[in-house]
Amino acid sequence: MKPLKFRRKTLALVLLAGMSATASAQMMINGAGATFPYPIYSKWFDEYAKVDPSVRFNYQSIGSGGGQKQILAQTVDFGASDGPMSDENLAKAPGKLLHIPTVAGADVVAYNLPGNPALKFDADTIAGIFLGQIKKWNDPKITTLNPGVSLPDQEIVVVHRSDGSGTTYIWTDYLSKISPEWKSKVGTNTSVNWPTGIGGKGNEGVAGQIKQTPGALGYVELIYAVQNKMPYAEVKNAAGEFVKPNIQSVTAALATADIPEDFRFSITNAPGKDAYPICGATWLLVYEQQKDATKGKKLVEFLKWAVKDGEKMARDLQYAPLPENLQERVLKRIHEIKI
């Protein structure tokens, strides 16, 4: 009898769990994707739980590739990506997908060296390192850019993403623009065939790897480097200036962008002497026609809040908010979502 009794108990537990589900009217809206804006999104969703306690936004940072994939498969209510979706993928979507830009951020070159010296890189050097041609920290290409810094005779441990990633998209988009060799050998995508290095899962994973590995160098979103007190490099931009990645230099890059109607744009290697060259915007991906009216309504309410109020939190987390004229264009687009 005991096993039966035991089973009855578990059954009762399951029923109880099911009942409590129907009892709590709290709605769950699920999203997944980019890890690049994850710090600000998780802040938004935390704050928004106070604005509208009847709904929770569960966001899993599985990578931009994942965001695109899961919204296409409709396994989530919204996706998130910092690489715009390709025409090919958009065509596969069961409905029209909208790109809603939220904030812009920077891919920084973060590293782990004894003493954490401040370093400078230019496009050639970065491409060389990621192509596996510059192997040591004391390579002449690095030392000439950084006179006065003593660099060890140590292998550079390149860290890149192992998952499909918008941070990678921005990074490879930049490398493809500045290095023909990169463009022909590797190309631009959310995940690529890396010539060298070790893989980490998510911005979190890459930052974690860099932190754990002496001699490591990799790319992460600015906030991950700042929050983890990792050093990150100044990078020479298209105008020939060395620029530190920060809100101003990202905003400067964003200002140069010519933004089309569908909001898919790239701001890597932007002109302008204050612009940081490796930055990009990040998007939420939502269907124009929402399947579920109640969820859709809440989602639209949230999007409006994000563009109006959420943007104000961007600076605290080192993201550049959208310029005001763009905010208005985005709001207009949000109004077009059909519920």
Partner 1 sequence: MTMHSSRADNHTWRKIMNALASATTFVSALLVIAPLGLIFFHLLANGASSVNWAFFTHLPKPVGEAGGGMVNAIVGSLELLAFASAIGIPIGVLGGVYLAEYGTARANALLRFVADVLNGVPSITFGVVVYGLVVLRFKGFSAYAGGLALGLIMVPLILRTTEEVILLVPNGYREAALALGVARWKTIVYIVMKTASKGIITGILLALARVGGETAPLLFTAFGNRFWNHNLSEPIAALPLQIFTYAISPYDDWHRQAWAGALVLVTGIFCVNVLVRILTRGRTTSAV
Partner 2 sequence: MEIATPPAAASLAPRSAAQAMVPPSRFGDKAFEWLTLAMAMAVVLLVILIGWQLWRGSSLAVQKFGFHFLTTSTWDPVTEQFGALPFIYGTLVSSFIALLIAVPLSVATAVYLTELAPLWIRQPIVSLIEMLAAIPSVILGLWGIFVMIPWLRDYPFPLLKRFFGWTPFFSGPIYGTSMLAGGIIIAIMILPIITSVSREILRSVPNLQREAAYALGATRWEVTRIAVLSYARKGLFGAVILGLGRALGETMAVTMVIGNTPQIAASLFKPGYTLASVIANEFTEATTDIYLQALFEIGLVLFGVTILVNLIAQLLLKTLTTTSTTRAVQ
- Chain residues binding partner 2 by CB under 8 A are 32, 62-63, 65-66, 68-70, 88-89, 92, 154-155, 157, 162-165, 186-194, 197-201, 208-209, 212-215
- Placement of tokens 């994850």 in the chain: 38
Amino acid (1-letter code) at residue 321: P
Comparing CB distances to partner 2, the nearer of 199 and 323 is 199
The HSE-up count of residue 166 (CA atoms within 13 Å, CB side) is 34
CA distance 130 to 320: 27
Rounded to 10°, the helix 202-212/38-51 angle is 130
The answer to whether the beta carbons of residues 309 and 43 sit under 8 Å apart is no
Q: Which residues make Cβ contacts (< 8 Å) with residue 43, sequence separation at least 6?
A: 313, 317
DSSP string, 162-206: SS--HHHHHHHHHHHHH-HHHHHHT--SSS---SS-EEESHHHHH
Length of the chain: 339
Comparing CB distances to partner 2, the nearer of 51 and 73 is 73
Give backbone dihedrals phi and psi of 55, rounded to 5 degrees, phi first.
Answer: -140, 145
293 is a site residue for partner 1 (CB under 8 A): no
Which parts of 37-56 interact with partner 1 (CB under 8 A)? 38-39, 42-43, 45-46, 49, 56
Comparing CB distances to partner 1, the nearer of 70 and 176 is 70
- Which window, 101-109, 148-156, 219-227, 265-273, contacts partner 1 (CB under 8 A)? 219-227
11 is a site residue for partner 1 (CB under 8 A): yes
With CB cut-offs between 5 and 8 Å by kind, which of partner 1, partner 2, none does residue 328 bind?
none
74 is a site residue for partner 1 (CB under 8 A): yes
CB of 69 to partner 1, least distance (A): 11
Comparing CB distances to partner 2, the nearer of 66 and 296 is 66
7 is a site residue for partner 1 (CB under 8 A): yes
CA distance 260 to 263: 5
Pattern of binders to partner 1 over 163-202, x per CB under 8 A? -------------------------------------xxx
With CB cut-offs between 5 and 8 Å by kind, which of partner 2, partner 1, none does residue 91 bind?
none
118 is a site residue for partner 1 (CB under 8 A): no
Comparing CB distances to partner 2, the nearer of 66 and 277 is 66
17 is a site residue for partner 1 (CB under 8 A): yes
Q: For the chain, how many helices (H) and strands (E)? A: 13, 12
13 is a site residue for partner 1 (CB under 8 A): yes
CB of 65 to partner 1, least distance (A): 14
Q: Report which of 147, 18, 21, 44 is spatially closest to residue 103, judged by C-alpha positions.
A: 44
The answer to whether the beta carbons of residues 195 and 185 sit under 8 Å apart is yes
